[in-house]
Amino acid sequence: AGIELDPVFITSSLEMLKELVLGHAAATLLPALSVAREIRSGQMVAVPLAGKKGIHTQIDLCIAPDRQLSFAATKLADFIERFMREVTAG
């Protein structure tokens, strides 16, 4: 869109970004999945970006290929994968 941004905060921590927003110190662009709980609880609001397309992000569930997961870890990974597919599908 030709817009230049001058970021005040730069961090790779989603929790830090969310705390800055909750503390009224910043606005941020985050994937809906990362703030779904805060939106549901009314702590944050999502403001759609104008235009035909939003910003697409990729979220990966990473599991070491040479590691045998425990039963509980397998169930958790399955749940996360299913949840991510459902959220991103609709």
Mean pLDDT by 10 residues, the chain (90 residues): 79 91 90 86 86 70 88 93 78
Domain match, 44 and 64 both: no
d(CA 29, CA 32): 9
The pLDDT value recorded for residue 8 is 84
| 25, 11 Cβ separation under 8 angstroms | no
What is the identity of the amino acid at 85?
A: R
Residue 41 makes CB contacts below 8 A (sequence gap 6+) with none
Domain match, 47 and 75 both: no
d(CA 71, CA 63): 14
Domain match, 45 and 2 both: yes
For 58, the token pair is 């990729």
Domain match, 66 and 84 both: yes
* Long-range contact set of residues 19-22: C-beta below 8 Å, sequence gap at least 24: none
Domain match, 43 and 12 both: yes
Domain limits for position 85:
60-90
